[in-house]
Amino acid sequence: MTDHVLIETAGRIGRIRLNRPKAIHALTEPMCAAVIDALDGWAADPAIEAVLLDHLEGRGFCAGGDIRMLAVSGAGDGAEARAFFRTEYRMNHRLFTFTKPIAAFMDGITMGGGVGISQPARYRVATENTKFAMPETGIGLFPDVGAGWYLSRLPGRMGQYLALTGHRLDGAECVALGLATHYLPADALEEAKRRIASDPQAIEAILDAVATPAPDARILAHRGAIDRLFASDRLAEIEAALAGDGSEWARGTLATLATKSPQAMKVSLKLLLDGRTMPTFEDEMRQEYAVACHVVQRADFIEGVRALIVDKDNTPRWQPERGEDVTEHLIDQIFAPLPADHEWSPQ
């Protein structure tokens, strides 16, 4: 167990409360293991009827995983990174397959690993503070923790846009895209949780009663352009479409893509292409684990973390530098299945 996640029961509900505020509740392997243990216990306990997932103090729900550790491990033998991914993805799968209702409160920064623990929940609550993103292409990684499943099922080509650009959504936009089920003012959250704790069978009715209409979702103004300009599953064709459009929005989006890892963007496009028809979430996590094991030891991830998180010079030197030099053979290597005795499994 770890003090970085508080596990408790209150009457008929189980509570998972992230408690690592100085790191915006970024996940560590012990935190993920503690969540797994809690869910396994509550699954078999008839006294627990629902689970609430939130955070204690701080400005975010969950900013992701322990990126510095992953980069240090990736620069070496990668063993610690692989162990983290294995446990984190098992937690993601437990949440996805948990039969009792889970309500996740995405109040504040919800990125990377925070997306992975909120999206499996039956009820996903956004607020005016929500900042939701999968920004991994900016550090040479890719949207993981099940994002190949979730983003590929968003309307139109919204998932491809979010995966490549790392665009941040606000709470209203999360509701509009189906990433959140309810929009609540942040000052109403504690009352909602109190009422759920007193009557866990009525979670949906309680959230419906406390929720307020979400503001207009600004991203919908660009829905047509996103569907049209991100229509291809080939990076070069998306970039050509943006370059040929001429609008200010397209120019800005193309400039954003120019800052991202070409390798990571191509990996992301294939991940979403495969994810759309992945038979089960377990299959999705098995593939994402193999991809993560390969990517975490490649130069782009180590360089991306150096440039954006360690040195903060924001000038990563990607290898390869150009999308056309990221070959299909390289992508095939990254997506190659692991040997049977190294594959991810839910248990």
- Between the alpha carbon of residue 341 and those of residues 121, 167, 270, 337, 338, the distances in Å are 31, 37, 25, 11, 8
Catalytic residue among 144, 288, 300, 303: 144
Catalytic residue among 66, 88, 107, 136: 136
Q: How far apart are CA 35 and CA 15, in angstroms?
A: 10
Give the dihedral of Cα atoms 116, 118, 122, 124; nearest 10 deg: -150
Q: Quick check: is 166 catalytic?
A: no
Alpha helices in the chain (DSSP H): 29-43, 67-75, 79-97, 113-118, 147-150, 158-165, 171-177, 189-198, 203-210, 223-229, 235-245, 248-257, 262-275, 281-295, 299-305, 328-334
Q: How far apart are CA 124 and CA 17, in angstroms?
A: 15
Q: Measuring CA to CA, which residue among 265, 234, 235 is closest to residue 136?
A: 265
Q: Quick check: is 65 catalytic?
A: yes
Catalytic residue among 113, 114, 166, 171: 113
Q: How far apart are CA 166 and CA 287, in angstroms?
A: 21
Q: Measuring CA to CA, which residue among 139, 26, 122, 120 is closest to residue 74?
A: 139
Catalytic residue among 65, 74, 116, 148: 65
10 Å Cβ neighbour count for 252? 11
Q: Quick check: is 300 catalytic?
A: no
List Cβ neighbours of 81 (8 Å cut-off, separation of 6 or more): 69, 70, 73, 74, 292, 293, 296, 297
Q: Quick check: is 113 catalytic?
A: yes
Catalytic residues: 65, 113, 136, 144
